């Protein structure tokens, strides 16, 4: 296993990490098998954003006696209320949830105290200018968290986080489907100038964010590197071709400032598939050739979250709504985290007035209005 410095935290983390969200659907024995395999492979960083009590307890029991070998990303503001996950900035609820996290993980500190999931600027303002941030700073002063991080899917919020100076690292969603956008409206040129070392073809806001992180030594750990498994299936991939875990991981690790890729695992074999990156040949890591040679016609009708559909008269974040719809439909049931992310959007799919302006601007011919209807029904 190779290890990378996580920005100004100075922590040397395994470049393959453990995103523990999928452990929520497993028994203790299954969780233990996955965590044990991760340890065997040299993985030393895990993310536990989940507020559900059982999964926290299962992780705590699985790492009991081995706490010091793990760097833990623990989230402040992910709470369990009335039997379900609720994101909040209410300090009383945050305190209950964070103390529960410490208790169930059988530890007295969290390495990376994460400002939990900020995607909207209104939420940023509320969190950064109120008692919530005071509580985060209190935890840091008391040694309950060693470093301050943030989780976000929004590059604009990520840039704001870097500019604070006190946020040392971030958990950010990274994969080709989330990053890439057409450099022009000509679909035939979609990957024309893209290669392994270049940032050509990536949303310029995200390019700026990556470079800002690198310049300010803010390390990145990557969530959703597989897009929920969508990139493994050519029928569900927005590119019409399938990538491997190794190719997805390589994509993430070649982004500026990235230190670790937080993969999700259902079985020990899934850990093996991710850890195979460490011994993979260059040809096995090559995602750029696969994407560049993808059949262009398959892009038609598939949302790549490029944002060319903007502006929307109802101010719906169409790309984000489409992304959450796709993540939701990858599972048999809508994950609680995806539902909460959708509910916290400022505008929702049911506000769509079917003006079709977005469809006229979409270079991939996505039937946006129809997807808005399906999304509204799914999340109703």
Are 177 and 271 contained in the same domain? yes
Percent of the chain whose predicted confidence (pLDDT) is above 90:
66
| Ordered alpha helix ranges (H), 23-82 | 28-40, 53-62
Is the domain of 136 the same as that of 8? yes
Domain of 133: which CATH number? 3.20.20.100
DSSP for residue 223? E
Q: Which of 163, 132, 167, 161 is CA-nearest to residue 148?
A: 167
Q: How far apart are CA 28 and CA 16, in angstroms?
A: 22
Cα(353)–Cα(355) distance, integer angstroms: 6
Number of domains, the chain: 2
Residue ending a domain, among 295, 315, 333, is 295
User: Torsions phi, psi of 50, nearest 5?
Assistant: -70, 140
**8 A C-beta contact, residue 322 and residue 371:** yes
> For the segment 139-155, what is each residue's pLDDT rounded down to a tens digit?
999 999 999 999 998 89
Range of the domain at 341: 300-378
Question: What's the rounded Cα separation, in Å, for the pair 259 and 6?
Answer: 5
187 and 143 assigned to the same domain: yes
- Which pLDDT tens digit goes with each residue over 225-237? 998 788 898 887 8
CA distances from 141 to 41, 137, 145 (A): 34, 6, 8
Q: Is the model's pLDDT at 189 over the cut of 80? A: no
Cα–Cα dist 34/225, whole Å: 18
CA 273 – CA 268 distance, rounded (Å): 9
pLDDT tens-digit map of 259-279: 999 999 989 999 999 999 999
Judged against a pLDDT cut of 80, whether residue 182 lies above it is answered with: no
At which of 295, 324, 352 does a domain end?
295
The pLDDT tens digits of the residues spanning 263-320 come to 999 899 999 999 999 999 999 999 988 887 776 545 567 776 766 687 899 989 898 8
- DSSP, collapsed to helix, strand or coil, labels residue 361 as helix
Residue at a domain's end among 295, 316, 341:
295
């Amino acid at each position: 296993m190779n290890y990378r410095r996580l920005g100004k935290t100075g922590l040397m983390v395994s470049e393959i990490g453990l995103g523990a969200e999928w452990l929520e659907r497993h028994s203790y024995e299954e969780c233990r098998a996955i965590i044990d395999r991760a340890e065997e492979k040299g993985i030393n960083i895990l993310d536990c954003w989940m507020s559900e009590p059982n999964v926290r307890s299962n992780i705590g029991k699985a790492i009991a006696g081995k706490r010091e070998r793990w760097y833990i990303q623990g989230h402040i503001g992910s709470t369990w209320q009335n039997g379900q996950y609720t994101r909040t900035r209410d300090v009383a609820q945050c305190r209950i949830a964070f103390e529960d996290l410490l208790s169930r993980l059988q530890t007295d500190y969290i390495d990376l105290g994460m400002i939990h999931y900020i995607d909207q600027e209104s939420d940023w303002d509320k969190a950064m200018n109120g008692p919530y941030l005071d509580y985060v700073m209190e935890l840091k002063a008391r040694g309950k968290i060693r470093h301050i991080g943030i989780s976000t899917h929004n590059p604009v919020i990520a840039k704001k986080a870097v500019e604070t100076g006190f946020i040392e690292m971030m958990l950010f969603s990274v994969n080709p489907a989330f990053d890439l956008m057409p450099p022009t409206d000509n679909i035939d040129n979609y990957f024309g100038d893209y290669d392994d070392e270049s940032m050509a073809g990536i949303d310029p806001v995200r390019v700026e964010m990556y470079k800002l992180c690198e310049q300010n030594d803010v390390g990145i750990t990557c969530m959703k590197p597989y897009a929920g498994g969508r990139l493994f299936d050519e029928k569900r991939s927005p590119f019409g071709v399938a990538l491997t875990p190794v190719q997805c991981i390589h994509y993430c690790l070649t982004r500026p400032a990235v230190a670790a890729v937080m993969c999700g695992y259902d079985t020990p074999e899934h850990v093996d598939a991710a850890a195979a990156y460490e011994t993979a040949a260059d040809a096995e890591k090559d995602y750029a050739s696969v994407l560049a040679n993808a059949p262009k016609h398959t892009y038609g009708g598939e949302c790549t979250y490029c944002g060319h559909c903007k502006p929307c008269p109802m101010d719906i974040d169409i790309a984000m709504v489409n992304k959450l719809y796709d993540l939701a439909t990858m599972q048999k049931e809508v994950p609680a985290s995806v539902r909460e992310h959708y509910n916290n959007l400022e505008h929702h799919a049911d506000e769509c007035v079917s003006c079709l302006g977005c469809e006229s601007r979409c270079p991939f011919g996505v039937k946006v209005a129809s997807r808005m209807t399906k999304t509204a029904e799914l999340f109703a």
